[in-house]
A = this chain, B = another copy of it.
Amino acid sequence: MAGLPVCVLGLGLIGGSVLRAVAAKGRETFGFNRSFLGARAARDDGFTATTDLDEALSWADRHGALIVLAVPMPAVAPLLEQVSLAAPRCPMTDVISVKGPVLEAVRAAGLLDRYVGGHPMAGTAHSGWTAGTADLFAGAPWVVSVDDHVDPVVWTAVMELAMDCGSVVVPARSDEHDAAAASISHLPHIFAEVMALEAGEVPLAFALAAGSFRDGTRVAATAPDLVRAMCEANAEELLPALDRALRVLERTRDSLQRHRSVAELVEAGHGARVRFESFGRPDIDNVVVGEGRWREALAAAGRAGGVIRSALPGPDSR
């Protein structure tokens, strides 16, 4: 049996791919896009899509659909205001790359009890409806929040959405997600920009640049607006990560100057990278959603690298 109807708000790369993926699973879908061109492109591909937010939210309300927020962070708060008026009982998730600020906006809109955050960790260098595909998320990790407030029924609906998109689910708290994203994505983006900038000012640097430079600066080729959006939205967690990195760099600089040695950093960094390479991905299959300390159990399992590959039993299956 197909899962809940899905109403996707925002038909860019991620939202458009979600719409395609769940439609391919036989679910009823409805799409909203602010710009006419995106909505028309979706309709041209045979989907129901509108530029009329009220129309989309009325449909969601009538069908008890799962609402998927797939808009940039600055558009979230005004959209939530409309959701709270027109479809306040619908379960809701999002696909935005930062989780704490969305959670706060949802809380401010009074929709917390219907909301479970999400973050599919997939993407391409392109954007917009036409860049999307039904298999964009195949095999990719999809973070589903297990914050203290989350409801087991909504959580299960979001887990099923991720699985219908072909993803494996990584359960995580919103705050831990954002701290991890700062260190594995936002800091690497900042570092890549610094390396590209530095090399750009040194004569001969581009002429000699090889693999370590090409790899290390690859993400500096990302569109500046996207890099800014993710780094700035996660400033709360990126700042302490930057501070820790600055302290390590300053200590390394002093050690290089005084003792001609970078041993401490290089041995610790190499050790961490080796641990990363051997980091396992065990199945999470021993938690029942809604039973006992299920949120804490899932957060701990996600932290240890665990992923959900087959739907966990939950409220529906009891």
Interface residues of A (CB under 8 A from B): 121, 141, 143, 170, 172, 176-177, 179-185, 187-210, 212-213, 215-224, 227-228, 231-232, 235, 238-239, 241-246, 248-250, 252-253, 256-257, 260-263, 265-277, 279, 302-306
Contacts and interface: CB of A to CB of B under 8 A. Distances in A.
Given A193-B269, A195-B245, 19 more contacts: A183-B205, A184-B208, A185-B213, A188-B216, A190-B249, A195-B269, A196-B269, A197-B272, A198-B244, A199-B272, A199-B276, A200-B271, A204-B302, A207-B302, A212-B218, A212-B219, A215-B218, A215-B219, A221-B277
B303 A220 contact: no
Contacts of A276: 196, 199-200, 206, 209, 217
Give the dominant DSSP class at A's interface. helix
22 contacts: A177-B204, A179-B202, A179-B204, A180-B205, A183-B195, A184-B208, A185-B213, A189-B212, A194-B249, A194-B252, A196-B269, A197-B248, A197-B268, A200-B271, A207-B303, A207-B306, A220-B269, A227-B266, A227-B270, A228-B263, A235-B257, A242-B252
Contacts of A197: 248, 265, 268-269, 272
Nearest to A218: B215
B249 A207 contact: no
Closest 4 CB pairs of A and B: A193-B269, A200-B272, A220-B273, A188-B216
Contacts of A228: 261-263, 266
A265 B194 CA distance: 7
A231 B264 CA distance: 13
A242 B254 CA distance: 10
A225 B184 CA distance: 25
Contacts of A277: 221
A305 B263 CA distance: 34
A189 B215 CA distance: 11
B222 A270 contact: yes
A181 B202 CA distance: 10
A180 B207 contact: yes
Contacts of A210: 121, 141, 184-185
